[in-house]
Amino acid sequence: MTHRKRPRYYVVKKGVHAYWEPKKTDCERYGLERVSLGHDGFGAMAVAEQHNKKLDALRQNRMAPRNEANPWPRGSFGKFWWKWSHRPAFYKRADKTQQELRDAWKRIGPKLGNLQLRAIMPSDIEAFVEHLNEITESEYVRWRTILKLRQMLNAAVDYQLIEKSPAGTIENSQPDGRTQIYSPAEIDKLIDKATELKQPNMALAIRVMYAAALSPVDARTLTLAMIGEDKDGPYIHRERKKVEGRKKKRGVVMASIPADLFEDLKVHVTKGGAVTPLPNAVLLVSDVTGKAWRDAAQFAREFAWVRDAALPGEELRPQAQRRVAMDIRRTANKEAHIGGASPEERAKFLANSMDTNSRLHATYTPPDVLTSRKVQKHREDGRKAMRDALEAGSDSSPETAERNVS
């Protein structure tokens, strides 16, 4: 390959396989571990640079001057939060969990941060909940904030800083889950509008999410190495990690995809055969920046642009009711349900954290791919039923059509 200066902590073993290996002290302090980057190349180096940026951010956050990073009074709830959120155990949590705690603190800190931790009473928590009801429209955000507040106070109990959590008596029922789905025709409109707006990557991402019932993160990080093929057609097979009870467990995402979608992906990534992509390079990138989507928020924003253009009036819905990219996955599940797929079949079809063992790689075709293909047939029946219900009913919402045929 063309010479290029290697990033920090970039290691190549046996002349082929690349790894990102930070220092042992950084691994222990921030909960990091060695990351396999696949074959040595520019794509692997780019991923290593991303890990280095993340590590630099962790170091900068931890080494910030105390008078700037910790403005809370001694003995206050805010002081405890600052110390707790800078402990090594905190960084061992999943990135999403860390971010959820920090987001919750943005709402908790201004009201409770200056109170002495030992002096916080249930009445203070009740007053905060009333304040939260006034400033927050989303039931989910309210529930999540109180949930994280309880988690912080329980941690203070674990450290024996307080005897009992003052939030223990506060009712915090989990809100009903989302029910938003798209109709088959709306999915077609999303794909067509993305193509019309010259966003081929987003159009393919929507097709992948819909065809394979993938979550946005699985679609935007899909690589060529994750797509297999057998006598019955192509399928996606990718491992992923999930944190359960602070323990990292390996799971797998498996789903069949149509042959025409597989061909379109290959044509797109090879630019019609002009280039040979690296196996571990992401297939789809942002049409705005030309680079891989930085995070879920960037992908969500670009999807929202397409959605608002394809489905006028969607932006007028309340924020919590606007349909998002993840609702495409829920749509696939509804189609399978309406088409007669059993709960067990749908669980396998949608599972993205299913326990596996090392022998899975050597077993072709895996049972989950067979289940996925079976569920796809049920989806065809469900899709037809939804189309018929929409055409026959006066209410054109896909949610109403789903209830009518269930």
Q: What is the pLDDT of residues 128-144, one digit of tens each?
A: 999 888 887 678 888 89
Tokens of 287: 């049409």
What is the per-residue pLDDT for 330? 87
For residues 352-360, average pLDDT: 34
SS3 content of the chain, % helix, strand, coil (to 5): 55, 10, 35
Rounded to 10 degrees, what is the CA torsion of 6, 31, 82, 172? 130
Q: Is the pLDDT of residue 286 over 90?
A: yes
- 316 Cβ contact list (under 8 Å, min separation 6): none
From CA 39, how far away is CA 45, in angstroms rounded?
10
What is the per-residue pLDDT for 395? 52
**Segment 397-406, tens digit of pLDDT:** 665 555 555 5
What is the per-residue pLDDT for 192? 96
What is the per-residue pLDDT for 66? 37
Contact 47, 278 (CB under 8 A): no
Contact 255, 236 (CB under 8 A): yes
Q: Is the pLDDT of residue 204 over 70?
A: yes
Q: Which CATH class is domain 75-158?
A: mainly alpha
Q: Is the pLDDT of residue 149 over 70?
A: yes
354: left (phi over 0), alpha (psi -120 to 50) or beta: beta
φ/ψ (deg, to 5) at 71:
-85, 5
What is the per-residue pLDDT for 147? 93
What is the per-residue pLDDT for 77? 94
CA-only gyration radius of the chain, Å = 24
User: Among 51-65, 227-241, 341-355, which range has the highest average pLDDT?
Assistant: 227-241
For residues 215-223, average pLDDT: 90
Q: Is the pLDDT of residue 62 over 70?
A: no
Q: Please name the fold of domain 184-405.
A: hpI Integrase; Chain A (1.10.443)
Q: How far is CA 308 from CA 77, 154, 283, 386, in A?
A: 42, 42, 25, 23
Handedness of CA 382, 180, 285, 225 (dihedral sign): negative
What is the per-residue pLDDT for 242? 53
How does DSSP assign 118-182, residue by residue? GG--HHHHHHHHHHHHHH---HHHHHHHHHHHHHHHHHHHHTTSSSS-TTTT---PPPPPP----
Q: Is the pLDDT of residue 358 over 50?
A: no
Handedness of CA 366, 371, 373, 376 (dihedral sign): negative
From CA 309, how far away is CA 195, in angstroms rounded?
12
**Segment 74-131, tens digit of pLDDT:** 899 999 999 898 888 888 888 788 889 999 999 999 999 999 999 999 999 999 999 8
Name the H helices within 339-397: 343-350, 367-392
**Segment 288-310, tens digit of pLDDT:** 999 999 888 899 999 999 999 99
From CA 157, how far away is CA 154, in angstroms rounded?
5
Kindly state the helix (H) or strand (E) to which residue 39 belongs, with its residue range.
strand 35-39
Where do the structural domains in the chain lie, given as residue ranges?
10-62, 75-158, 184-405
Contact 249, 354 (CB under 8 A): no
75-158 with 184-405: one CATH topology?
no
What is the per-residue pLDDT for 38? 83
**Segment 230-270, tens digit of pLDDT:** 888 888 887 765 544 444 445 566 788 889 999 999 899 88
